[in-house]
Structure 1
């Protein structure tokens, strides 16, 4: 993922689909990716994050497309007696190039602390994986306050990586926690202001140069148009479970280059 003019479109499947349903969806995405000019021309960098059980067959199914595969989580150690965990080293070995870190659900349901998020970021960098780092304010607050909290989360997430001097590009997924799973995303004006301040933080940090910011949190069709120029792309959830909705987002990205 090197073309920084391309629009990033990512899809996180969470645990909504069975393995069979996931692979049916992956095959639909394969057809779209092989024929859609936005993907074939590199205007859009498309990535998908299936559940662990579907990563290997999904990678195989998408091997002749430009779609990148990633995981929804990783463990912070690469090897050891950690029953049930999956390491970044193994994810890289089976074809993942990205990994999601720090999603609000991981923090809330599984008690992931900021230190754990920081250690997972380091594990991603150490294994050559681009972290898709989720940041977002818990409640609706003025945009400047939301940006301050997101930047604090970003800095905290990079603590362990800075200490080891092992740091690379990040895809920052701005997901206001109050908008995740909500009927409506945050307003375009609000997102523009928050993302603009996160971008300033990235631009002022030489270690993060080239990193990008995408919007998630009930993201869907028509949002790229509304956020034109403000974000580097979208991180889609349930809206993209209908492959035709994903195609609509790709159509929007294609038309935006005109």
Structure 2
């Protein structure tokens, strides 16, 4: 909830213009923008034909019914949404969402042919083993709920690094992500499982993490289109 509708429209236009100069970048990586629900359909329209995907910041676990105020994953898919962000630390902290909530929503996204992007991460800074143990429960819950062949994106966001001046140390991220990738529930899946890093992520970071992560999940450092574009270039050419 940082952008007005007008700012979102201008932002997407600027990103489009930057990417139009180097369209080959989108042949190598996936780029997505996740706006608020109110402007999502207009962003889908703006990005049509560009190759940039549009995502939603949340969705309900049921497709239809007496759930006033919730957002139907079936409707999101119908209007062109491709990715659904779930289980963000703010949803967990402010609205009491649990691992089970994130798992049921992930299953709903997958059954509507969208990719669940599930945020995972430990609450307090500490040892790698502690971080992995906390993330394991989050990952296992999701993987037990989504179809084995469905694509899943896991965004590793240490809660203590969200909004911080600096991201988590590269060595910590690499070690945690490598051990998450080695979990049985991830290894035995037939579907693609991609792992991103978020938590004060921005330009200059991917080079330090590329041996472990598949990409980055940007928050405030993507609010500047030029910084977002710079990060896209770094990932595409790494």
Is residue 230 of structure 2 the alignment partner of residue 248 of structure 1?
A: yes
- 2: CA distance, partners of 1:188 / 1:244: 24
How high is the TM-score relative to the length of structure 2?
0.94
Secondary structure of the residue aligned to 1:253 is: helix
How far 1:81 moved relative to its partner? Answer: 1.2
Structure 1 residues 182-193: aligned runs within 5 Å: 182-193=164-175
- Using a 3 Å threshold, how does the CA distance of structure 1 residues 81 and 93 change in structure 2: closer, same or farther? same
1:46 and 2:28 correspond: no
Q: Indicate which of 204, 207, 218 corresponds to 1:236.
A: 218
TM-score by structure 1 length? Answer: 0.87
Contact 1:74 1:87 in 2 (8 A): yes
Q: Deviations over 1:21-64 (max 9, x none)?
A: 01110111111232224534x12210010000111111111102
Map 1:1-258; keep pairs closer than 5 Å: 15-37=1-23, 39-40=25-26, 42-161=27-146, 165=147, 168-201=150-183, 205-207=187-189, 209-256=191-238
1:151 is displaced (CA, Å) by 1.8
Cα separation, partners in 2 of 1:38 and 1:186, compared to 1, 3 Å: farther
1:207 Cα deviation (Å)? 2.5
Q: For residues 175 and 24 of structure 2, what CA distance do their matches in structure 1 show? A: 27
| Structure 2 counterpart SS, 1:160 | coil
> How far, CA to CA, are the matches of 2:224 and 2:136 in structure 1?
33
Shift of residue 202, structure 1, vs aligned partner: 6.3
Higher relative contact order (CA 8 A, sep 6+): 1
**Residues 211 and 238 of structure 1: CA distance in aligned 2, closer, same or farther (over 3 Å):** same
Query: Match of 2:230, SS?
Result: helix
Query: How many equivalent residue pairs?
Result: 238
Q: Deviations over 1:216-244 (max 9, x none)?
A: 01100100111122210000000010000
Q: Which runs of 5+ in 1 are unaligned?
A: 1-14
Contact 2:149 2:191 in 1 (8 A): no
Query: Could you tell me how far apart the structure 2 residues matched to 1:226 and 1:166 are?
Result: 31
Q: Deviations over 1:2-36 (max 9, x none)?
A: xxxxxxxxxxxxx1101110111011111123222
Kindly indicate whether the alpha-carbon contact (under 8 Å) linking 1:122 and 1:166 is maintained by their aligned counterparts in 2.
no
Report the aligned-residue RMSD.
1.6
Q: Give the gaps of 5 or more residues in structure 2.
A: none
